[in-house]
Amino acid sequence: MIGKESTVGRVVKFAFLGVWLLFTVFPLYWITVTSLKAPGDIFQFPLAYWPERFSLENYSGLFGTADFGTYLTNSLIVSTVAGATATAISMLSAYVLARFEFRTKSALLMAALVTQMIPSFIALGPLYLLMTDLQLVDNRFGLILVYIAVCIPFCTVMLRGFFENIPDALEEAAMIDGLSRFSALFRVLLPVMRPGIIAAFIFNFVNCWNELFLSVTLMNSDSNKTVPTALNGFISSFNIDWGSMSAAAVLTILPTMLLFAFASRHIVQGLTSGAVKG
């Protein structure tokens, strides 16, 4: 009886996972297939779930007429610089919150958590006025500053959990051996925290890579637009360029998929070791 129940349970579990996998993978498959169809074949009826002939016309159009390479370069620069800088700043602030006690510690943690509950588009108006006064509208450096400010609260809370799971004795032993607190942080704690740091950087990078509202608001010229802004540009009032949008979506998804594929071990290790202690 127990064997039958366990078998039924496994069948139900695998059936559920199969349905979930279908709903997850099919949109990616359909976007990829659509991007490889000739523009005239996209709207054919009945729908073709496998192209009769493959075409790279949508991809060549992206780099020939839409200058998609510039958008990819802008997104890569902005996401990498903002993600790395936010991770470095958050690492220091998380260390302070994990290792020291001071009067406003709880208030700072609460403020960092509350900021994650506020949609970013609520602050678009005041933010645009501020960036205009600073002459940072339509400027990649200005967008990087905004992304750093957006990423720091969540990244700080995340890395604080990693620091709290590292025993204080490890740092104290390094300081007894003659290292300063600053040296102990960089020479002893950070190598131990490498999976957590990698995980934090990847989350920051992906958030910056996929962000739309701020980039649309702050970037006007084609030479400074990022990939999400370019994808939004394929939608007009009367038409949607499905072929070009699908090709652009595939090229947009690939970097993050490759990043997660190569760093998946560090991400899993970092997230499991960084669980916040009760």
* Structure confidence by residue, pLDDT tens digits, 6-16: 777 788 888 88
* Structure confidence by residue, pLDDT tens digits, 199-257: 889 889 999 998 888 888 888 888 888 988 888 777 766 677 788 888 888 888 888 88
Check pLDDT > 80 for residue 275.
no
Average pLDDT value for residue range 110-123 = 80
Pairwise CA distance, residues 64 & 58, whole Å: 10
Residue 151: which pLDDT band, with cuts at 50, 70 and 90?
very high
Cβ atoms of residues 143 and 218 within 8 Å? yes
> Of 146, 138, 137, which is closest to residue 211 (Cα–Cα)?
146
Q: What is the pLDDT of residue 271?
A: 55
The CATH superfamily of 66-275 is MetI-like (1.10.3720.10)
Q: What is the pLDDT of residue 274?
A: 47
Q: What is the pLDDT of residue 169?
A: 84
Q: Residue 70 corresponds to which amino acid?
A: T
Pairwise CA distance, residues 145 & 263, whole Å: 26
User: 128: part of which helix (H) or strand (E)?
Assistant: helix 124-133
Q: What is the pLDDT of residue 272?
A: 56
* Structure confidence by residue, pLDDT tens digits, 170-208: 888 888 888 888 888 888 888 888 888 888 898 899 999
The pTM score is 0.82
The residues with which 247 forms a beta bridge, in sequence order, are: none
Q: Integer distance in angstroms from the first to the last C-alpha of the chain?
A: 40
Cβ atoms of residues 151 and 207 within 8 Å? yes
Mean of the per-residue pLDDT values of the chain: 82
